[in-house]
């Protein structure tokens, strides 16, 4: 079993739809959870950053973490064509000298159609 | 967040030559920088963790003599691909560690070895 599982998609939605992106993980040591957006041939851009369980909202984006289920989600409201990108979940935890290493999901390719 | 630049953004080199890629943290003193590579439609693979003033820590399977990393200052890390071969063609991305566990990525360097 991989440490982080993420459905690669592709996911195609109409403009204005609510998008739900998810990752599951197996390592209970993970405590820090991030979502990155990556446009084609660009570096990943940090969207959301949460610690432990709970919700965090930033504009049209909401990140949820459920540590009991080892499940994290990113919701995008009122999706726009400019949201079309690959979304990567990433997580980190206390692990001795590798505290700062991120473990990434494979990424979900999202297309928002006008 | 931190602003990270990379240079060059795209480089083509002949097989057997060496290529140097620079990663700069423009507004943040980065004690720790990371180097990743990414193949098309795949997620990021951590190559090494670079600490200012000390030797880099390489991930298992990454040849340290082939991928030379130097982190000479708090704002600059370099990756040199020595004796490059076509299989080294990839997208190389650096990141800096933020104040927490988040990472901020550069725009990436596309390396093509002919």
Beta carbons of A64 and A55 less than 8 angstroms apart = yes
Q: Determine the pLDDT at residue A88.
A: 96
Q: Which of A34, A42, A102 sits opposite B107 (nearest CB)?
A: A42
**A18 CB neighbour count, 10 Å cutoff:** 12
User: Judging by DSSP bridges, how do beta strands B90-97 and B103-105 pair with one another?
Assistant: antiparallel
Q: Does B44 touch chain A (CB under 8 A)?
A: yes
**B36 CB neighbour count, 10 Å cutoff:** 25
Q: How confident is the model at residue A98 (pLDDT cuts 50, 70, 90)?
A: very low
Per-residue confidence of chain B (114 residues) as pLDDT tens digits?
A: 789 999 999 999 999 999 999 999 998 888 889 999 999 888 899 999 988 888 899 999 999 999 999 988 889 999 999 999 999 999 999 999 866 677 899 999 999 999
Question: Residues with Cβ < 8 Å from B107, sequence gap 6 or more?
Answer: A42, A43, B4, B5, B6, B9, B93
Q: Determine the pLDDT at residue B100.
A: 67
Contact B43 A99 (CB under 8 A): no
Which residue out of A23, A43, A89 would a mutagenesis test of the B interface target, given it has the greatest number of B Cβ atoms within 10 Å? A43
Q: Determine the pLDDT at residue A97.
A: 47
- pLDDT tens per residue, range A7-28: 888 999 999 999 999 999 999 8
Contact B49 A100 (CB under 8 A): yes
What percent of chain A stands above pLDDT 90?
73
Best CA proximity match to A60, nearest among A107, A13, A17 = A17
On average, the pLDDT of chain A sits at 91
Q: What are the CA-CA distances from residue A33 to residues A5, A73, B37, B75, B108 (Å)?
A: 14, 10, 21, 26, 22
DSSP one-letter code for B15: T
């Amino acid at each position: 079993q991989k440490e982080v599982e993420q459905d690669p998609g592709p996911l195609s939605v109409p403009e204005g739809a609510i998008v739900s992106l998810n990752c599951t993980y197996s390592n209970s040591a993970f405590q820090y959870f991030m979502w990155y957006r990556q446009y084609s041939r660009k570096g990943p851009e940090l969207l959301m950053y949460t610690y432990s369980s709970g919700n965090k909202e930033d504009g049209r984006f909401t990140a949820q973490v459920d540590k009991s289920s080892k499940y994290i989600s990113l919701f995008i409201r009122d999706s726009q064509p400019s949201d079309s990108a690959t979304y990567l979940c990433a997580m980190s935890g206390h692990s001795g000298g590798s505290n700062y290493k991120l473990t990434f999901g494979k990424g979900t390719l999202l297309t928002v159609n006008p | 967040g931190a602003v990270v630049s990379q240079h060059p953004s795209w480089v083509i080199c002949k097989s057997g030559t060496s290529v140097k890629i620079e990663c700069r943290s423009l507004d943040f003193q980065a004690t720790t920088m990371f180097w990743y590579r990414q193949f098309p439609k795949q997620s990021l693979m951590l190559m090494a963790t670079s600490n200012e003033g000390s030797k880099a820590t390489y991930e298992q399977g990454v040849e340290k003599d082939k991928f030379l990393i130097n982190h000479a200052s708090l704002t600059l890390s370099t990756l040199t691909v020595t004796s490059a071969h076509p299989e080294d063609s990839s997208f190389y991305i650096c990141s800096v560690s933020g104040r927490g566990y988040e990472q901020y990525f550069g725009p990436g360097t596309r390396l093509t070895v002919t």
